[in-house]
A and B are shown apart, each in its own frame.
Chain A
Amino acid sequence: MVRLIGVYKSYDNGVRALKGVNLRIDDGEFVFLVGPSGSGKSTIVKLITAEIEPTEGKLMVNGFHLNDLRASKIPRMRRTLGIVFQDFRLIENKTVYENLTFAMRAVGASREEIKKRIPYVLELVGLDKKTRRLPHELSGGEQQRVAIARALVNNPSMIVADEPTGNLDPARSLEIMMLLERINSLGTTTLVVTHEKELVNRFSKRVVAIDNGRIVSDGMDGYYNYETM
Protein backbone atom coordinates (compact mmCIF):
# COMPACT_ATOMS: atom_id res chain seq x y z
CA MET A 1 0.00 0.00 0.00
CA VAL A 2 1.17 3.51 -0.84
CA ARG A 3 0.03 6.70 0.86
CA LEU A 4 1.09 10.24 0.09
CA ILE A 5 -0.47 12.82 2.41
CA GLY A 6 -0.02 16.51 1.57
CA VAL A 7 3.31 15.86 -0.13
CA TYR A 8 5.34 18.79 -1.43
CA LYS A 9 8.66 18.48 -3.19
CA SER A 10 10.96 21.34 -4.15
CA TYR A 11 14.35 20.68 -5.74
CA ASP A 12 17.54 22.61 -4.96
CA ASN A 13 17.25 24.48 -8.28
CA GLY A 14 13.97 25.98 -7.07
CA VAL A 15 11.62 23.79 -9.14
CA ARG A 16 8.45 22.94 -7.19
CA ALA A 17 7.67 19.47 -8.55
CA LEU A 18 4.81 18.54 -6.21
CA LYS A 19 2.36 20.88 -4.55
CA GLY A 20 0.35 19.05 -1.91
CA VAL A 21 -0.24 15.63 -3.45
CA ASN A 22 -2.61 13.20 -1.73
CA LEU A 23 -2.63 9.68 -3.15
CA ARG A 24 -3.65 6.29 -1.84
CA ILE A 25 -2.96 3.02 -3.65
CA ASP A 26 -4.34 -0.08 -1.93
CA ASP A 27 -2.89 -3.57 -2.05
CA GLY A 28 -3.73 -5.41 -5.28
CA GLU A 29 -4.71 -2.29 -7.22
CA PHE A 30 -3.64 -1.48 -10.79
CA VAL A 31 -3.09 2.26 -11.19
CA PHE A 32 -2.03 4.34 -14.16
CA LEU A 33 -0.27 7.58 -13.19
CA VAL A 34 -0.54 9.86 -16.18
CA GLY A 35 0.44 13.38 -17.09
CA PRO A 36 2.52 15.46 -19.46
CA SER A 37 6.31 15.79 -19.22
CA GLY A 38 7.41 17.73 -16.15
CA SER A 39 4.07 17.25 -14.39
CA GLY A 40 5.62 15.46 -11.39
CA LYS A 41 5.10 11.78 -12.31
CA SER A 42 8.77 10.81 -11.99
CA THR A 43 9.06 12.74 -8.73
CA ILE A 44 6.30 10.54 -7.27
CA VAL A 45 8.18 7.42 -8.43
CA LYS A 46 11.43 8.69 -6.91
CA LEU A 47 9.64 9.43 -3.62
CA ILE A 48 8.10 5.94 -3.54
CA THR A 49 11.48 4.30 -4.22
CA ALA A 50 13.15 6.53 -1.57
CA GLU A 51 15.57 8.06 -4.05
CA ILE A 52 14.52 11.49 -2.79
CA GLU A 53 12.79 12.80 0.33
CA PRO A 54 9.66 14.97 0.40
CA THR A 55 10.06 18.62 1.36
CA GLU A 56 6.81 18.40 3.29
CA GLY A 57 4.07 15.84 3.90
CA LYS A 58 3.82 12.19 4.90
CA LEU A 59 4.80 9.18 2.83
CA MET A 60 4.17 5.49 3.51
CA VAL A 61 5.14 2.55 1.27
CA ASN A 62 4.28 -1.07 2.05
CA GLY A 63 4.21 -0.44 5.79
CA PHE A 64 7.38 1.71 5.88
CA HIS A 65 7.10 5.33 7.02
CA LEU A 66 9.60 6.93 4.66
CA ASN A 67 9.74 10.28 6.48
CA ASP A 68 11.72 8.83 9.36
CA LEU A 69 13.16 5.73 7.69
CA ARG A 70 16.85 5.29 8.51
CA ALA A 71 19.18 5.00 5.50
CA SER A 72 20.15 1.49 6.59
CA LYS A 73 16.48 0.39 6.35
CA ILE A 74 15.96 1.67 2.80
CA PRO A 75 17.21 -1.59 1.16
CA ARG A 76 14.63 -3.55 3.16
CA MET A 77 11.87 -1.24 1.96
CA ARG A 78 13.06 -1.47 -1.65
CA ARG A 79 12.82 -5.25 -1.52
CA THR A 80 9.05 -4.83 -1.31
CA LEU A 81 9.12 -3.04 -4.68
CA GLY A 82 9.90 -4.19 -8.19
CA ILE A 83 10.99 -1.32 -10.40
CA VAL A 84 10.80 -1.27 -14.20
CA PHE A 85 12.47 1.51 -16.17
CA GLN A 86 11.83 2.92 -19.63
CA ASP A 87 15.39 2.10 -20.76
CA PHE A 88 15.26 -1.48 -19.31
CA ARG A 89 18.57 -1.04 -17.43
CA LEU A 90 19.79 -4.58 -17.99
CA ILE A 91 23.43 -5.51 -17.46
CA GLU A 92 24.77 -5.92 -20.98
CA ASN A 93 27.44 -8.52 -20.27
CA LYS A 94 25.09 -10.84 -18.34
CA THR A 95 22.65 -13.29 -19.87
CA VAL A 96 18.91 -13.16 -19.18
CA TYR A 97 19.33 -15.78 -16.46
CA GLU A 98 22.34 -13.97 -14.93
CA ASN A 99 20.50 -10.64 -14.88
CA LEU A 100 17.84 -12.28 -12.74
CA THR A 101 20.36 -14.17 -10.59
CA PHE A 102 22.15 -10.87 -9.99
CA ALA A 103 18.93 -9.29 -8.64
CA MET A 104 18.21 -12.27 -6.38
CA ARG A 105 21.81 -12.47 -5.13
CA ALA A 106 21.69 -8.78 -4.28
CA VAL A 107 19.03 -9.47 -1.66
CA GLY A 108 20.82 -12.53 -0.28
CA ALA A 109 18.78 -15.32 -1.92
CA SER A 110 20.25 -18.84 -1.74
CA ARG A 111 21.14 -20.95 -4.79
CA GLU A 112 18.14 -23.20 -4.16
CA GLU A 113 15.77 -20.24 -4.08
CA ILE A 114 17.31 -18.88 -7.28
CA LYS A 115 17.00 -22.24 -9.09
CA LYS A 116 13.37 -22.52 -8.06
CA ARG A 117 12.22 -18.95 -8.68
CA ILE A 118 13.88 -17.89 -11.94
CA PRO A 119 12.36 -20.55 -14.26
CA TYR A 120 8.88 -19.72 -12.90
CA VAL A 121 9.30 -15.97 -13.50
CA LEU A 122 10.82 -16.45 -16.97
CA GLU A 123 7.91 -18.65 -17.93
CA LEU A 124 5.50 -16.02 -16.62
CA VAL A 125 7.02 -13.34 -18.92
CA GLY A 126 7.37 -15.80 -21.82
CA LEU A 127 11.16 -15.92 -21.97
CA ASP A 128 11.82 -19.42 -20.69
CA LYS A 129 13.40 -20.36 -24.04
CA LYS A 130 15.84 -17.45 -24.07
CA THR A 131 17.61 -17.77 -20.74
CA ARG A 132 21.12 -17.86 -22.25
CA ARG A 133 20.71 -14.83 -24.49
CA LEU A 134 22.51 -11.55 -23.85
CA PRO A 135 20.34 -8.38 -23.77
CA HIS A 136 21.61 -7.14 -27.15
CA GLU A 137 20.43 -10.41 -28.72
CA LEU A 138 16.83 -9.62 -27.73
CA SER A 139 14.23 -7.24 -29.17
CA GLY A 140 13.14 -4.14 -27.21
CA GLY A 141 9.94 -5.86 -26.07
CA GLU A 142 11.87 -8.92 -24.92
CA GLN A 143 14.37 -6.76 -23.05
CA GLN A 144 11.51 -5.06 -21.23
CA ARG A 145 10.11 -8.51 -20.37
CA VAL A 146 13.49 -9.37 -18.82
CA ALA A 147 13.33 -6.12 -16.84
CA ILE A 148 9.82 -7.05 -15.65
CA ALA A 149 11.04 -10.54 -14.73
CA ARG A 150 13.87 -8.95 -12.74
CA ALA A 151 11.38 -6.70 -10.96
CA LEU A 152 9.25 -9.74 -10.11
CA VAL A 153 11.96 -12.18 -9.20
CA ASN A 154 12.21 -11.11 -5.56
CA ASN A 155 8.45 -11.48 -5.16
CA PRO A 156 7.67 -7.81 -4.38
CA SER A 157 4.34 -6.52 -3.04
CA MET A 158 4.28 -3.82 -5.68
CA ILE A 159 5.57 -3.21 -9.21
CA VAL A 160 6.45 0.38 -10.11
CA ALA A 161 6.88 0.77 -13.87
CA ASP A 162 8.20 4.16 -14.99
CA GLU A 163 7.28 4.67 -18.68
CA PRO A 164 7.75 0.94 -19.41
CA THR A 165 6.59 1.28 -23.02
CA GLY A 166 8.40 4.51 -23.83
CA ASN A 167 10.94 2.78 -26.08
CA LEU A 168 8.57 0.27 -27.71
CA ASP A 169 6.29 0.20 -30.75
CA PRO A 170 2.47 0.08 -30.17
CA ALA A 171 2.17 -3.70 -30.56
CA ARG A 172 5.01 -4.43 -28.11
CA SER A 173 3.66 -1.75 -25.76
CA LEU A 174 0.30 -3.50 -25.64
CA GLU A 175 1.98 -6.84 -24.93
CA ILE A 176 3.95 -5.32 -22.04
CA MET A 177 0.84 -3.68 -20.61
CA MET A 178 -1.08 -6.97 -20.84
CA LEU A 179 1.78 -8.71 -19.07
CA LEU A 180 1.65 -6.12 -16.27
CA GLU A 181 -2.12 -6.61 -16.04
CA ARG A 182 -1.57 -10.37 -15.73
CA ILE A 183 1.00 -9.86 -12.98
CA ASN A 184 -1.51 -7.64 -11.19
CA SER A 185 -4.17 -10.32 -11.50
CA LEU A 186 -1.81 -12.65 -9.59
CA GLY A 187 -1.95 -10.24 -6.64
CA THR A 188 0.90 -7.75 -7.14
CA THR A 189 -0.03 -4.08 -6.73
CA THR A 190 0.94 -2.29 -9.96
CA LEU A 191 1.68 1.38 -10.58
CA VAL A 192 2.35 2.27 -14.21
CA VAL A 193 3.62 5.75 -15.02
CA THR A 194 2.94 6.72 -18.61
CA HIS A 195 1.82 9.50 -20.90
CA GLU A 196 0.43 7.23 -23.65
CA LYS A 197 -3.23 8.10 -23.84
CA GLU A 198 -4.33 5.40 -26.31
CA LEU A 199 -2.70 2.64 -24.35
CA VAL A 200 -4.21 3.72 -21.04
CA ASN A 201 -7.66 4.00 -22.52
CA ARG A 202 -7.57 0.38 -23.75
CA PHE A 203 -7.62 -0.85 -20.14
CA SER A 204 -10.40 -0.19 -17.68
CA LYS A 205 -8.21 0.68 -14.76
CA ARG A 206 -7.86 3.43 -12.21
CA VAL A 207 -6.21 6.49 -13.78
CA VAL A 208 -4.60 9.19 -11.64
CA ALA A 209 -3.75 12.30 -13.63
CA ILE A 210 -1.19 14.82 -12.47
CA ASP A 211 -0.36 18.19 -13.88
CA ASN A 212 1.89 20.96 -12.64
CA GLY A 213 2.56 19.09 -9.39
CA ARG A 214 -1.12 18.59 -8.47
CA ILE A 215 -3.45 15.61 -8.90
CA VAL A 216 -6.11 16.85 -11.29
CA SER A 217 -8.22 13.72 -11.63
CA ASP A 218 -8.52 10.28 -10.12
CA GLY A 219 -11.08 7.99 -11.72
CA MET A 220 -11.89 4.32 -11.99
CA ASP A 221 -13.19 4.63 -15.53
CA GLY A 222 -9.82 4.02 -17.15
CA TYR A 223 -10.02 7.24 -19.10
CA TYR A 224 -7.07 9.53 -19.67
CA ASN A 225 -8.53 12.87 -20.68
CA TYR A 226 -5.82 15.10 -22.14
CA GLU A 227 -8.20 18.03 -22.55
CA THR A 228 -8.67 18.45 -18.81
CA MET A 229 -4.94 19.30 -18.42
Chain B
Amino acid sequence: MKRCNFGYFLAEGIRGIFIHGVMSFAAVVSTVACLLIMGSFTLVAVNVGASIVNWEQKNEILAYVDDTLSENDARAIESKIRAIPNVLECTFITREQAMENFVKDKAGDSLYRDLPAEILRHRYSIRLENIEDMETTVAQIEKVQGIASVNALQEVSNGFMTVRNIVGGVAIILIIVLLVVSIFVISNTIRLATYARREEIAIMKMVGATNWFIRWPFIYEGLILGILGAVIAFFCQWGIYNAIGGAISKTDTLSLFTVIPFRSMALYVGEIFLGTGLVIGVGGSLLAIRKFLKV
Protein backbone atom coordinates (compact mmCIF):
# COMPACT_ATOMS: atom_id res chain seq x y z
CA MET B 1 0.00 0.00 0.00
CA LYS B 2 1.33 3.40 -0.99
CA ARG B 3 1.69 5.79 1.94
CA CYS B 4 -0.37 8.48 0.15
CA ASN B 5 -3.23 5.98 -0.19
CA PHE B 6 -3.42 5.24 3.55
CA GLY B 7 -5.18 8.54 4.29
CA TYR B 8 -7.49 8.03 1.33
CA PHE B 9 -8.50 4.49 2.39
CA LEU B 10 -9.06 5.61 5.98
CA ALA B 11 -11.10 8.63 4.88
CA GLU B 12 -13.15 6.42 2.53
CA GLY B 13 -13.69 3.89 5.32
CA ILE B 14 -14.93 6.59 7.72
CA ARG B 15 -17.03 8.14 4.97
CA GLY B 16 -18.61 4.74 4.27
CA ILE B 17 -19.57 4.40 7.94
CA PHE B 18 -21.44 7.72 7.94
CA ILE B 19 -23.00 7.41 4.48
CA HIS B 20 -24.42 3.98 5.35
CA GLY B 21 -25.17 5.00 8.92
CA VAL B 22 -28.06 2.61 9.52
CA MET B 23 -26.09 -0.42 8.34
CA SER B 24 -23.05 0.71 10.33
CA PHE B 25 -25.25 1.03 13.41
CA ALA B 26 -26.65 -2.47 12.77
CA ALA B 27 -23.13 -3.88 12.40
CA VAL B 28 -21.99 -2.29 15.68
CA VAL B 29 -25.11 -3.49 17.52
CA SER B 30 -24.59 -7.03 16.16
CA THR B 31 -20.93 -6.96 17.24
CA VAL B 32 -21.85 -5.70 20.72
CA ALA B 33 -24.59 -8.35 21.08
CA CYS B 34 -22.32 -11.18 19.92
CA LEU B 35 -19.42 -10.08 22.12
CA LEU B 36 -21.70 -9.67 25.14
CA ILE B 37 -23.19 -13.14 24.71
CA MET B 38 -19.74 -14.68 24.18
CA GLY B 39 -18.19 -12.65 26.97
CA SER B 40 -20.96 -13.50 29.43
CA PHE B 41 -20.63 -17.23 28.76
CA THR B 42 -16.86 -17.02 29.10
CA LEU B 43 -17.08 -15.09 32.36
CA VAL B 44 -19.66 -17.52 33.77
CA ALA B 45 -17.33 -20.40 32.84
CA VAL B 46 -14.32 -18.62 34.41
CA ASN B 47 -16.26 -17.96 37.62
CA VAL B 48 -17.63 -21.50 37.83
CA GLY B 49 -14.06 -22.75 37.29
CA ALA B 50 -12.77 -20.47 40.04
CA SER B 51 -15.53 -21.61 42.39
CA ILE B 52 -14.68 -25.23 41.68
CA VAL B 53 -10.99 -24.59 42.39
CA ASN B 54 -12.08 -22.92 45.61
CA TRP B 55 -14.25 -25.88 46.56
CA GLU B 56 -11.45 -28.25 45.63
CA GLN B 57 -9.09 -26.43 47.95
CA LYS B 58 -11.59 -26.68 50.77
CA ASN B 59 -11.96 -30.39 50.14
CA GLU B 60 -9.51 -31.70 52.75
CA ILE B 61 -8.34 -35.22 53.48
CA LEU B 62 -7.97 -36.33 57.08
CA ALA B 63 -5.17 -38.84 57.84
CA TYR B 64 -5.52 -40.37 61.35
CA VAL B 65 -2.37 -41.26 63.27
CA ASP B 66 -1.98 -44.60 64.98
CA ASP B 67 -3.16 -44.45 68.67
CA THR B 68 0.03 -45.98 69.92
CA LEU B 69 2.24 -43.09 68.75
CA SER B 70 3.11 -40.21 71.06
CA GLU B 71 2.48 -36.65 69.94
CA ASN B 72 6.17 -36.19 69.05
CA ASP B 73 6.22 -39.41 67.00
CA ALA B 74 3.00 -38.35 65.32
CA ARG B 75 4.50 -34.96 64.40
CA ALA B 76 7.54 -36.71 62.94
CA ILE B 77 5.37 -38.26 60.20
CA GLU B 78 4.66 -34.84 58.67
CA SER B 79 7.84 -34.76 56.58
CA LYS B 80 6.96 -38.17 55.06
CA ILE B 81 3.48 -36.94 54.11
CA ARG B 82 4.85 -33.72 52.65
CA ALA B 83 7.27 -35.77 50.52
CA ILE B 84 4.32 -37.39 48.70
CA PRO B 85 3.74 -35.78 45.31
CA ASN B 86 0.44 -33.88 44.93
CA VAL B 87 0.33 -32.90 48.62
CA LEU B 88 -0.17 -29.14 48.69
CA GLU B 89 -0.61 -28.51 52.40
CA CYS B 90 -0.28 -30.66 55.45
CA THR B 91 -1.33 -29.44 58.93
CA PHE B 92 -0.91 -31.44 62.12
CA ILE B 93 -3.93 -31.38 64.48
CA THR B 94 -3.50 -32.72 67.99
CA ARG B 95 -6.33 -34.72 69.54
CA GLU B 96 -6.92 -31.79 71.92
CA GLN B 97 -7.36 -29.34 69.03
CA ALA B 98 -9.57 -31.87 67.26
CA MET B 99 -11.77 -32.17 70.34
CA GLU B 100 -11.95 -28.39 70.65
CA ASN B 101 -13.11 -28.14 67.02
CA PHE B 102 -15.56 -30.97 67.52
CA VAL B 103 -17.14 -29.30 70.56
CA LYS B 104 -17.22 -25.98 68.72
CA ASP B 105 -19.17 -27.65 65.91
CA LYS B 106 -21.66 -28.97 68.45
CA ALA B 107 -21.96 -25.64 70.22
CA GLY B 108 -24.76 -25.47 72.72
CA ASP B 109 -24.99 -29.23 73.12
CA SER B 110 -23.85 -29.96 76.70
CA LEU B 111 -23.69 -33.69 75.94
CA TYR B 112 -20.31 -33.28 74.21
CA ARG B 113 -18.81 -30.68 76.56
CA ASP B 114 -16.99 -32.99 79.00
CA LEU B 115 -15.69 -35.62 76.59
CA PRO B 116 -11.99 -36.51 77.13
CA ALA B 117 -9.62 -35.72 74.26
CA GLU B 118 -8.18 -39.26 74.39
CA ILE B 119 -11.16 -40.68 72.53
CA LEU B 120 -9.91 -38.87 69.40
CA ARG B 121 -6.66 -39.41 67.50
CA HIS B 122 -3.95 -37.06 66.33
CA ARG B 123 -4.53 -36.28 62.66
CA TYR B 124 -3.28 -34.48 59.62
CA SER B 125 -5.43 -32.19 57.53
CA ILE B 126 -4.12 -32.55 53.97
CA ARG B 127 -4.99 -30.55 50.86
CA LEU B 128 -4.10 -31.76 47.43
CA GLU B 129 -2.76 -29.89 44.45
CA ASN B 130 -4.89 -31.83 42.00
CA ILE B 131 -7.92 -33.76 43.17
CA GLU B 132 -7.92 -35.79 39.95
CA ASP B 133 -5.12 -37.88 41.48
CA MET B 134 -6.83 -38.22 44.85
CA GLU B 135 -7.11 -42.00 44.71
CA THR B 136 -3.36 -42.53 44.11
CA THR B 137 -2.36 -39.95 46.72
CA VAL B 138 -4.68 -41.46 49.36
CA ALA B 139 -3.13 -44.88 48.72
CA GLN B 140 0.35 -43.39 49.19
CA ILE B 141 -0.67 -41.66 52.45
CA GLU B 142 -2.16 -44.91 53.77
CA LYS B 143 1.21 -46.60 53.20
CA VAL B 144 3.03 -44.09 55.44
CA GLN B 145 4.10 -45.83 58.66
CA GLY B 146 2.10 -44.53 61.60
CA ILE B 147 -1.01 -43.62 59.62
CA ALA B 148 -3.94 -45.72 60.76
CA SER B 149 -6.55 -44.64 58.28
CA VAL B 150 -7.42 -41.93 55.77
CA ASN B 151 -10.76 -40.24 55.37
CA ALA B 152 -11.26 -38.81 51.87
CA LEU B 153 -14.56 -37.95 50.24
CA GLN B 154 -13.73 -39.33 46.83
CA GLU B 155 -17.33 -39.19 45.60
CA VAL B 156 -17.36 -35.43 46.26
CA SER B 157 -14.07 -34.92 44.46
CA ASN B 158 -15.33 -36.99 41.53
CA GLY B 159 -18.44 -34.80 41.48
CA PHE B 160 -16.28 -31.67 41.29
CA MET B 161 -14.34 -33.19 38.44
CA THR B 162 -17.49 -34.01 36.51
CA VAL B 163 -18.95 -30.52 37.01
CA ARG B 164 -15.69 -28.86 35.97
CA ASN B 165 -15.36 -31.02 32.84
CA ILE B 166 -18.97 -30.41 31.81
CA VAL B 167 -18.76 -26.65 32.39
CA GLY B 168 -15.43 -26.45 30.53
CA GLY B 169 -16.68 -28.52 27.58
CA VAL B 170 -19.99 -26.68 27.27
CA ALA B 171 -18.24 -23.30 27.49
CA ILE B 172 -15.76 -24.18 24.72
CA ILE B 173 -18.53 -25.49 22.43
CA LEU B 174 -20.72 -22.44 23.11
CA ILE B 175 -17.88 -20.00 22.51
CA ILE B 176 -16.95 -21.65 19.18
CA VAL B 177 -20.60 -21.76 18.05
CA LEU B 178 -21.16 -18.13 19.06
CA LEU B 179 -17.95 -16.99 17.32
CA VAL B 180 -19.05 -18.66 14.07
CA VAL B 181 -22.58 -17.22 14.43
CA SER B 182 -21.10 -13.76 15.14
CA ILE B 183 -18.93 -13.79 12.02
CA PHE B 184 -21.93 -14.97 9.99
CA VAL B 185 -24.19 -12.23 11.40
CA ILE B 186 -21.59 -9.49 10.93
CA SER B 187 -20.64 -10.63 7.44
CA ASN B 188 -24.32 -10.60 6.45
CA THR B 189 -24.79 -7.14 7.95
CA ILE B 190 -21.74 -5.81 6.12
CA ARG B 191 -22.84 -7.66 2.98
CA LEU B 192 -26.08 -5.69 3.07
CA ALA B 193 -24.06 -2.49 3.44
CA THR B 194 -21.76 -3.62 0.62
CA TYR B 195 -24.71 -4.54 -1.58
CA ALA B 196 -25.75 -0.88 -1.57
CA ARG B 197 -22.27 -0.06 -2.85
CA ARG B 198 -21.97 -2.77 -5.50
CA GLU B 199 -22.26 -0.07 -8.18
CA GLU B 200 -19.27 1.79 -6.75
CA ILE B 201 -17.28 -1.44 -6.70
CA ALA B 202 -18.29 -2.28 -10.28
CA ILE B 203 -17.23 1.20 -11.44
CA MET B 204 -13.90 0.91 -9.64
CA LYS B 205 -13.31 -2.47 -11.30
CA MET B 206 -14.18 -1.02 -14.70
CA VAL B 207 -11.76 1.89 -14.42
CA GLY B 208 -8.97 -0.51 -13.49
CA ALA B 209 -8.80 -0.51 -9.70
CA THR B 210 -7.06 -3.53 -8.22
CA ASN B 211 -8.99 -5.79 -5.83
CA TRP B 212 -6.83 -4.63 -2.92
CA PHE B 213 -7.49 -0.99 -3.72
CA ILE B 214 -11.21 -1.78 -3.45
CA ARG B 215 -10.83 -3.90 -0.32
CA TRP B 216 -8.84 -1.47 1.83
CA PRO B 217 -11.64 1.07 2.57
CA PHE B 218 -13.94 -1.82 3.52
CA ILE B 219 -11.23 -3.29 5.74
CA TYR B 220 -10.81 0.05 7.52
CA GLU B 221 -14.56 0.32 7.84
CA GLY B 222 -14.78 -3.16 9.38
CA LEU B 223 -11.80 -2.37 11.59
CA ILE B 224 -13.38 0.82 12.96
CA LEU B 225 -16.79 -0.82 13.45
CA GLY B 226 -15.12 -3.82 15.13
CA ILE B 227 -13.16 -1.58 17.54
CA LEU B 228 -16.23 0.53 18.27
CA GLY B 229 -18.32 -2.59 18.94
CA ALA B 230 -15.58 -4.04 21.17
CA VAL B 231 -15.25 -0.86 23.26
CA ILE B 232 -19.03 -0.52 23.75
CA ALA B 233 -19.33 -4.25 24.54
CA PHE B 234 -16.47 -4.00 27.06
CA PHE B 235 -18.13 -1.27 29.10
CA CYS B 236 -21.57 -2.94 28.88
CA GLN B 237 -19.98 -6.21 30.04
CA TRP B 238 -18.32 -4.42 32.93
CA GLY B 239 -21.63 -2.89 34.06
CA ILE B 240 -23.62 -6.12 33.67
CA TYR B 241 -20.94 -8.18 35.42
CA ASN B 242 -20.70 -5.84 38.39
CA ALA B 243 -24.50 -5.67 38.71
CA ILE B 244 -24.90 -9.48 38.65
CA GLY B 245 -21.75 -10.08 40.74
CA GLY B 246 -23.00 -7.62 43.36
CA ALA B 247 -26.37 -9.35 43.48
CA ILE B 248 -24.73 -12.79 43.90
CA SER B 249 -22.46 -11.54 46.71
CA LYS B 250 -25.49 -10.25 48.60
CA THR B 251 -27.41 -13.52 48.26
CA ASP B 252 -26.81 -16.10 51.01
CA THR B 253 -27.92 -19.07 48.88
CA LEU B 254 -25.32 -18.26 46.22
CA SER B 255 -22.50 -17.53 48.69
CA LEU B 256 -20.76 -20.75 47.60
CA PHE B 257 -19.89 -19.03 44.31
CA THR B 258 -16.65 -17.11 44.08
CA VAL B 259 -17.19 -13.92 42.08
CA ILE B 260 -13.88 -12.76 40.61
CA PRO B 261 -13.64 -8.93 40.59
CA PHE B 262 -14.00 -7.58 37.03
CA ARG B 263 -11.02 -5.25 37.46
CA SER B 264 -8.68 -8.23 37.86
CA MET B 265 -9.84 -9.58 34.47
CA ALA B 266 -10.44 -6.24 32.70
CA LEU B 267 -7.20 -6.32 30.71
CA TYR B 268 -7.82 -9.88 29.43
CA VAL B 269 -11.47 -9.17 28.67
CA GLY B 270 -10.48 -5.94 26.87
CA GLU B 271 -7.82 -7.72 24.80
CA ILE B 272 -10.14 -10.59 23.90
CA PHE B 273 -13.01 -8.26 22.99
CA LEU B 274 -10.74 -6.07 20.90
CA GLY B 275 -9.18 -9.06 19.13
CA THR B 276 -12.55 -10.71 18.51
CA GLY B 277 -14.07 -7.38 17.39
CA LEU B 278 -11.26 -6.92 14.87
CA VAL B 279 -11.57 -10.49 13.59
CA ILE B 280 -15.35 -10.12 13.27
CA GLY B 281 -15.11 -6.66 11.64
CA VAL B 282 -12.28 -7.31 9.20
CA GLY B 283 -13.26 -10.96 8.54
CA GLY B 284 -16.88 -9.94 7.99
CA SER B 285 -15.83 -7.17 5.56
CA LEU B 286 -13.57 -9.47 3.54
CA LEU B 287 -16.25 -12.18 3.39
CA ALA B 288 -18.93 -9.68 2.41
CA ILE B 289 -16.98 -7.97 -0.37
CA ARG B 290 -15.62 -11.19 -1.93
CA LYS B 291 -18.69 -11.78 -4.08
CA PHE B 292 -18.73 -8.25 -5.52
CA LEU B 293 -15.10 -8.39 -6.66
CA LYS B 294 -15.86 -11.06 -9.25
CA VAL B 295 -16.44 -8.62 -12.12
Among A93, A102, A106, A150, find the residue whose CB has the most chain B CB atoms closer than 10 A: A106
Query: CA separation between A93 and B202, bound complex, in Å?
Result: 16
Beyond A78-B207, A102-B204, 16 extra complex contacts between A and B, CB < 8 Å: A51-B295, A72-B210, A75-B208, A75-B209, A76-B208, A79-B208, A81-B208, A83-B207, A89-B203, A91-B199, A102-B200, A105-B8, A106-B207, A106-B214, A107-B207, A107-B208
Q: A76-B208, A154-B208 are in contact. Are A103 and B8 (CB under 8 A)?
A: no
A-B contact pairs, 6 of them (CB 8 A): A78-B208, A81-B208, A89-B199, A107-B209, A108-B213, A110-B4
Among B206, B207, B211, find the residue whose CB has the most chain A CB atoms closer than 10 A: B207
Report the tally of A-B residue pairs with Cβ distances under 8 A: 50
8 Å CB contacts to A: which residues of B1-46? 2, 4-5, 8, 19
Q: Least Cβ distance of A84 to chain B in Å?
A: 10
CB neighbours (8 Å) of A110 from chain B are: 4
Query: CA separation between A96 and B204, bound complex, in Å?
Result: 16
A72-111 toward B: CB 8 Å interface, digit per residue (1/0)? 1001111101010000010101000000001101111011
Q: Judging by beta carbons under 8 Å apart, are A79 and B213 in contact?
A: no
Is A49 part of the contact surface with B, judged by Cβ < 8 Å? Answer: yes
Interface residues in chain B, defined as those with a beta carbon under 8 Å from any beta carbon in chain A: 2, 4-5, 8, 19, 199-200, 202-211, 213-214, 295
Query: CA separation between A78 and B209, bound complex, in Å?
Result: 9
Query: CA separation between A89 and B295, bound complex, in Å?
Result: 15
Q: Least Cβ distance of B291 to chain A in Å?
A: 15
Q: Least Cβ distance of B63 to chain A in Å?
A: 74
CB neighbours (8 Å) of B2 from chain A are: 108
Interface residues in chain A, defined as those with a beta carbon under 8 Å from any beta carbon in chain B: 49, 51, 72, 75-79, 81, 83, 89, 91, 93, 102-103, 105-108, 110-111, 150, 154
Q: Judging by beta carbons under 8 Å apart, are A103 and B295 in contact?
A: no
Q: A89-B199, A91-B200, A91-B203 are in contact. Are A106 and B19 (CB under 8 A)?
A: no
Q: For residue B8, which residue of chain A has the nearest CB?
A: A105
Q: Least Cβ distance of A89 to chain B in Å?
A: 6
CB neighbours (8 Å) of A111 from chain B are: 4
Q: For residue B200, which residue of chain A has the nearest CB?
A: A91
Q: Judging by beta carbons under 8 Å apart, are B206 and A83 in contact?
A: yes
Q: Least Cβ distance of A118 to chain B in Å?
A: 14
CB neighbours (8 Å) of A93 from chain B are: 19
Q: Judging by beta carbons under 8 Å apart, are A103 and B19 in contact?
A: no
Q: A108-B5, A110-B4 are in contact. Are A103 and B203 (CB under 8 A)?
A: yes
Q: Which of B4, B199, B208, B295 contacts A106 (CB 8 A)?
A: B208
Q: Least Cβ distance of B6 to chain A in Å?
A: 13
Q: Least Cβ distance of B128 to chain A in Å?
A: 62
Q: For residue A93, which residue of chain B has the nearest CB?
A: B19
Q: For residue A78, which residue of chain B has the nearest CB?
A: B208
Among A89, A110, A154, find the residue whose CB has the most chain B CB atoms closer than 10 A: A89
Query: CA separation between A111 and B7, bound complex, in Å?
Result: 12
CB neighbours (8 Å) of A51 from chain B are: 295
* 8 A-B pairs with least C-beta separation: A79-B208, A106-B209, A78-B208, A75-B208, A103-B207, A106-B204, A75-B210, A106-B207
Query: CA separation between A163 and B206, bound complex, in Å?
Result: 16
CB neighbours (8 Å) of B199 from chain A are: 89, 91
Among B5, B202, B210, find the residue whose CB has the most chain A CB atoms closer than 10 A: B210
Query: CA separation between A105 and B5, bound complex, in Å?
Result: 9
Query: CA separation between A83 and B19, bound complex, in Å?
Result: 27
Query: CA separation between A89 and B5, bound complex, in Å?
Result: 24
CB neighbours (8 Å) of B214 from chain A are: 106
CB neighbours (8 Å) of B207 from chain A are: 78-79, 83, 103, 106-107, 150, 154
Q: Least Cβ distance of A63 to chain B in Å?
A: 15
